[in-house]
A and B are shown apart, each in its own frame.
Chain A
């Protein structure tokens, strides 16, 4: 998860700001103009990194908002006088933001490569609109005759026709945008975005509406890109359809990757480095006759950079946190809780899920009482995993009802169901590997109040902290709180899954093979944990380990070929002749013994 920049990075960034402050004193107007461009491009690519590196949305059309911002200035500027930046700039930001909301509402529905392509397509649509039509000069572009100024009550405070004034304005804007983006990435909202980048499905299953989070991030990034665009148009007083084009978007991605994805400061270095290389290759006296072919050199340098520095320039500043000390606590379950809480009851009626002709879950009706451990067993292919996928909303039921306490949750989205208090773990460990144990639980705790507009931990901070401490203690992970999840043992990772469910506030836990791949000693500990958890929770357990499940469960449900074969107390199931015959088959005798 994005941390505060290290001391080294802070020093480098401060030095860069100081150097930038000095540019107008030591450099001529050309140097000022060049640096202004770098500052503005840096703002643009920070917004892109917020999208790519924080949220995980690789947009190949981000320049469309840059272009829209630039063209807004053209549309707002009167023919022969200066536009007021106090009107024009917010208008550009708003315009780009609104456009991003409309375009994003569609784009964010897609994922991965398709998202790359759809954003590219929208960018190209806007490009061709401005290129082929006669809006604002069509393919020739258009001039903004008088540069904007900052005026209050008719008094000009900053005239952007003066290069230095505009230069310092851009520098201040970059510092603010960087600090703003960094701060935002470290709010509950930003942390959820980072979790979405790592594992969107998991965040959704914790009760977060990932669509609105991603859309809001897209809109924010678009608005900031619009701001960068309006600044860019101010530099030259000229707009061209190329600002929308895929090359512009491509160059922005280059700068982000060259600088270091997901670091927010890396893109600043990327913008600087890219522009500097381009400038040197174009004009440097020592490159002589090949200056005409500068993009050859640029291309080769980019290729070399990818191969040599996969993590970008920012990778050079990376410090490795020392690994957390190993430690092991006894999981306490809910036994330390002040007072027992009621878990949620689950009732399903006639639940059916078909895939074409194959009926994986067939007319299952079942009532699971609160604060007990319920086991679900069945041979491979019995429809157990489909059954929980339907319960949790990952699959829509073909028919039937699901009720959580008195609430009908059938057919709702996974995040809406999770918000009702139903939490699940996965058969294959499904956690945020690059984050620490505590951060994993923090994401889960944020899911209790998952408004995308939550920028401060605020009034929930104490409650969340309490839940995290409790969840870690309950699962015996307190000593490992600061270890990276990827450094945990397999058993610890499974425990972390349960800790995340506890931190998320779920009152009914569905655990898909939590004992899978565990040794005897670990199995014993986790089985005891599951028992202890039923003090405050209802636990639904799907397991292959027959000894463990018969020891842990209060009731057992047997699924065979999608149908409910039997449901009852373990000792009754053990004696049930139908179960013995139809399901237990070869190991039936052994269990009966």
Chain B
């Protein structure tokens, strides 16, 4: 019972982190029509920003506050330098260019930070654990991470539901061609969406760093898993990404305990099952 509860918590917390990466990915794909394989690299960027900024400032939350604008600017710059050339190109070229970006980012990471894994300290005021429901103890920091993810998700919902740029995003989500017809400045919209996606992924990397430790290639498993989340949820659907991320998080957490040999395979099997039932994903247009 104890184990099941702990795994539910682990699964939800991992799922929420995944959501940060996957929501950006699904918006970039749904609105901009770009398959961004380098999305995992932005999660990695977050993890290493966390490492450096925490050693400078001494606190993970200060790192988050500093890291968010850095990641946003970085995302906007990458969009301007590379991604904007891809809008009119087919999927293959997008795959090729963003794969090239992965190689570049991985190498830059090696040059700047080296190949050894590092750990990022949990702040002292969150180092303990708390007893939940009287039967299990759960680390404080993980709870804080889950809370932060929920806060970021809510902030995102607010932006999407209540602001002008959010209206454009929603319009793009339901019909990409229409946005262009409606005379919305897609250059601005795309740059914002891309930079926001990068920021969300990086924010995930920053706050996950004390849990996961920081190592080269950290972004690749996040990328592949996020792509699975996007497919399960349906391309372009933020709600789908949320549900998909939690599903994958739980499947992964339980798989690791009960089917350790096939934990990774389980995630893909789940995706295959969803696609058989609903070829367009849970919340996608088929």
Q: Which residues on A are within 8 Å of B, measured CB to CB?
A: 52, 58, 60, 106, 109-110, 112-114, 116-118, 120-122, 124-125, 128-129, 131-133, 246, 250, 253-254, 256-258, 261, 293, 295-296, 298-303, 305-307, 310
Complex CA–CA separation, A246 to B261 (angstroms):
19
**What residues of A have a CB within 8 angstroms of the CB of B228 in the complex?**
117, 121
A261-B262 contact, Cβ under 8 Å, with A303-B97, A303-B100: no
Q: Which of B89, B263, B268 contacts A124 (CB 8 A)?
A: B268
Q: Is the CB of B96 within 8 A of A254?
A: yes
- Known contacts A121-B268, A124-B264: does B91 contact A113 (CB below 8 Å)? yes
**C-alpha gap A303/B92 in the complex (Å):** 13
Chain B residues within an 8 Å CB radius of A303: 82, 97, 100-101, 104
- Docked Cα-Cα span, A217 to B243, in Å, equals 35
- For residue B85, which residues in chain A have a CB less than 8 angstroms away from its CB? 307
A125 pairs with B265, CB closer than 8 A: yes
Cβ of B1 under 8 Å from chain A: no
**Nearest-Cβ distance from residue A158 to partner chain B, whole angstroms:** 37
Q: State whether the Cβ of B102 lies closer than 8 Å to any Cβ in chain A.
A: yes
- Chain B: residues with Cβ within 8 Å of the partner, total of 43
**Quick check: B100 and A302 within 8 Å, CB to CB?**
yes
CB pair B92–A293 under 8 Å, yes or no, is no
User: Cβ of A293 and Cβ of B111 under 8 Å apart?
Assistant: yes
Check: B165 CB closer than 8 A to any chain A CB: no
- Given A253-B96, A257-B96, A300-B100, check contact A113 B235 (CB 8 Å): yes
Query: Which 5 pairs, one residue from A and one from B, show the smallest C-beta to C-beta distance?
Result: A299-B103, A302-B100, A296-B107, A128-B264, A299-B104
**96-134 of chain B: CB within 8 A of chain A:** 96-97, 99-104, 106-108, 110-111
Q: Check if B100 sits within 8 Å of A110, measured CB to CB.
A: no
Q: Which A residues touch B101, using CB under 8 A?
A: 299, 303
Do A125 and B93 touch across chains, with their CB atoms under 8 A apart? no
Decide if A295 touches B107 in the complex (CB within 8 Å).
yes
Q: In the complex, which of the residues A253, A258, A295, A307 contacts B103, with contact meaning CB atoms closer than 8 Å? A: A295
B29 in the interface (beta carbon within 8 A)? yes
7 new A-B contacts at CB < 8 Å, known A58-B91, A298-B103, A306-B89:
A113-B35, A117-B271, A118-B275, A128-B263, A128-B264, A257-B93, A306-B100
Shortest beta-carbon distance from A297 to chain B in Å = 8
Q: Which residues of A contact B279 (CB under 8 A)?
A: 109-110, 114
Within 8 A of A (CB), among B235-273: 235, 260-265, 268-269, 271-272
Q: Does B44 contact A (CB under 8 A)?
A: no
Are A299 and B100 also in contact (CB < 8 A) when A128-B264, A128-B265 are? Answer: yes
- Of chain A, the residue at the smallest CB distance from B221 is A124
**B31–chain A nearest beta-carbon distance, Å:** 14
A307–B235 CA distance with the chains assembled, in angstroms = 26
Give complex CA distance A125, B235 in Å.
Answer: 22
Alpha-carbon distance A58/B102, docked complex (angstroms): 20
- Give chain B residues whose Cβ lies under 8 Å from the Cβ of A298: 100, 103
Residues of B near A125 (CB, < 8 A) are: 264-265, 268-269
The answer for the CA separation of A440 and B224 in the assembled complex, in Å, is 40
Chain B positions within 8 Å of A132 at CB level: 260-264
Which residues of the partner chain B approach A261 to less than 8 Å between Cβ atoms? 92
Q: Are B97 and A306 in contact (CB under 8 A)?
A: yes
Q: Bound state CA distance, A117 and B37, in angstroms?
A: 12
Within 8 Å by CB of A60, from B95, B102, B261, B264, lies: B95
State whether B231 touches A114 (Cβ < 8 A).
yes
Give the nearest-CB partner of B260 in chain A. Answer: A132
9 contacts between A and B (CB under 8 A): A110-B275, A124-B224, A124-B264, A128-B263, A257-B93, A258-B96, A295-B106, A296-B107, A305-B96
- Nearest-Cβ distance from residue A393 to partner chain B, whole angstroms: 18
In the complex, whether B45 has a CB less than 8 A from a CB of chain A is no
Complex contacts, B111 vs chain A, CB 8 Å: 293, 296
Contact of A58 among B29, B92, B100, B260 (CB under 8 A): B92
Residues of B close to A129: CB separation below 8 A: 262, 265
How far is A52 from B91 in the complex, measured between Cα atoms in Å?
Answer: 11
Q: Give the nearest-CB partner of B270 in chain A.
A: A121
Q: Which residues of B contact A307 (CB under 8 A)?
A: 85, 97
A299 to B97, CA, bound (A): 8
